[in-house]
Homo-oligomer: A and B are copies of this chain.
Amino acid sequence: MEKYRFLLSGSGGQGVITMAILLAEAAVLHEGLIAVQSQSYGPEARGGATRSDVIISDSEILFPKVLQPNYLVAMTNEAAGKYMPLIRPGGMCIYDTDLVQPSRRIDAMLMGMPMQKAVLEKFHKTQALNICVLGALVTLTGAVKMESVEQVLKARFKPAFHEANSAALALGAELAKPFLSAN
């Protein structure tokens, strides 16, 4: 299996780290894979930017940091500007069309979706945005099965959140569907 190298980026309140942990746990706990998940905090963290890396593989992962992601998630313009140039040629960039205006020409599949807007419409708050992004990410990459993510969400969060989490995950999958049929 080819290694999946994710770089998930956004701003502090968007739940990027939680998204990364959920993705790694789904791969490890329910699919028998190996995963490494890390945060590198530099001076830029003080600006409110968050970056979280996840590598998923079926064999040992020697270097846990993502230098060139196959899959970038960018949830702010700042994050997109900074990390899009790192994408491996032919990789994928998942971003929010209302939060990010991708300006660089890069050799990557650009998959923009109005995720924040859809989450706001459905839940009247953005708390579940990261779960929605995870739904889109899993749908577009096939890195793990959707039901593995469902199981992790059920184990990690209180029952009161299960329904909203499932709905947010499904919303992300729904937003991602048009890209699948286009391929």
Which of A21, A35, A64 has the most B CB atoms < 10 Å from its CB? A64
Of the candidates B35, B39, B61, B63, the one whose C-beta lies within 8 Å of that of A36 is: B39
- Size category of the A interface is 20 to 34
Contact check, B17 vs A21: say whether CB atoms are below 8 A apart. Answer: yes
Chain B residues, Cβ within 8 Å of A166 = none
Interface string of A47-89 (1 = CB under 8 A from B): 0000000000000010111000000000000000000000000
Whether a CB of chain B sits under 8 angstroms from the CB of A38 is yes
A21 contacts which chain B residues (CB < 8 A)? 17, 39
The secondary structure that dominates the A interface is mixed
Q: Which residues of chain B come closer than 8 Å to A63, judged between CB atoms?
A: 63
For A38, give its contact among B28, B42, B64 (CB under 8 Å).
B64
In the assembled complex, A40 has its CB within 8 A of some CB on chain B: yes
Q: Find out whether the CB atom of A38 lies under 8 angstroms from the CB atom of B41.
A: no
A120 at the interface (CB under 8 A from B): no
Task: Map CB proximity to B onto A1-42 as digits: 1 under 8 Å, 0 otherwise.
Answer: 000000000000000010001001101110010111111111
Binding site for B on A (CB under 8 A): 17, 21, 24-25, 27-29, 32, 34-43, 45-46, 61, 63-65
19 contacts between A and B (CB under 8 A): A21-B39, A24-B39, A24-B41, A25-B41, A27-B41, A28-B42, A29-B45, A32-B43, A34-B42, A34-B43, A36-B38, A36-B39, A36-B41, A38-B38, A38-B39, A38-B64, A40-B64, A64-B64, A64-B65
